[in-house]
Structure 1
């Protein structure tokens, strides 16, 4: 039993380090990075890993079904004060951009389902969220979010265009989302 407890503790430390540490991957080094925002030009973008799972409200979701749309993925937890601070800004950006082929997806991490559902109800979050208490989706990213909250913007080809490793505000996020949404297929890169 002591070995199992030790192994679980080591796993928890590894997950925490992965979410808060630096990435040594060359992909991020090839992109522009400033102030907690990593932005990749169309030529530098890598495909996002499979982003699929069980929704907080029930049912399942697979981001592959959103190909052709810009997808804004926000990693959050009900326990996270900056997540509470950005909730209105995310919802506002979602409402302002959804008519231009943009969809939003939350990924709830390191949380209980009841607390996550209560958070969404309290803050009026209207877009879906995947329940991912083990943070496996964040750990699978080529350019990992590394912090909570974090927001990843996928282009219409399903590639990582922008990673924001901080709480967002609508006046900062919306122009980024609109710019990625305005890319033509030729700008976005080959299929």
Structure 2
């Protein structure tokens, strides 16, 4: 086996292991270790104070409908990132709430972006969005490469579904590692939106 083949195999094994750990679940624990500066509330939402946040990794690529999205283009807006898969039961449960809140906050300085992962093609992902009234873009990340860009010990998406709220500077301010209804989603979103 060539060195290049071994490197590709090791990369694939690492990605598969990370995705296995992020199997569709209904909750989780804060990851990392060391001084992460984030606090888990009793509602399962992790938050980081404004002055202690780190920059989100570069997140860009092709969407499930063939367009391109770069999260950096939304700087100045609060961004709600939702990691989902069409195969994920909790994702199906929360989708109607994300659709509702994204439409209610359109034009109010908030941009929703999905990250679709572990769907082997865009066909089920597109059907999922249509069935749930999702009108915001979703990056297509079948192997989880975008998710692996988040450093360990940060507000990183560890489960599917996961939701992150990025502040106007593109820094993760809040994270939930569980399915959310509209009330819980707004508890994450409103404090970040109110920041000056």
Q: Counterparts of 1:92-131 in structure 2 under 5 Å?
A: 92-111=100-119, 112-131=121-140
Moved more, 50-59 or 13-22: 13-22
Aligned residues: 182
1:2-21 correspondence runs (5 A): 10-11=13-14, 13-19=16-22
Alignment partner, residue 139 of structure 1? 148
The TM-score normalised by the length of structure 1 is 0.86
RMSD across aligned positions (CA): 2.3
- The structure-2 alpha-carbon separation of the partners of 1:62 and 1:175, relative to structure 1 and needing over 3 Å to count, comes to same
- Specify the SS of the correspondent of 2:173: strand
List alignment gaps of at least 5 residues for structure 2. Answer: 24-28
- Secondary structure at the residue paired with 2:163? strand
TM-score, length basis structure 2: 0.84
Partner residue of 2:38 out of 31, 34, 57: 31
Runs of 4+ in structure 1 over 6 Å off: none
- Would you tell me which structure has more helix in proportion to its own residues? 1
2:181 aligns with 169
> What residue ranges of structure 1 are gaps of 5+ in the alignment?
185-191
Q: Superposed, which structure 2 residues align to 1:83-98 within 5 Å?
A: 83-98=91-106
Question: Matches of 1:160 and 1:17 in 2, distance apart?
Answer: 23
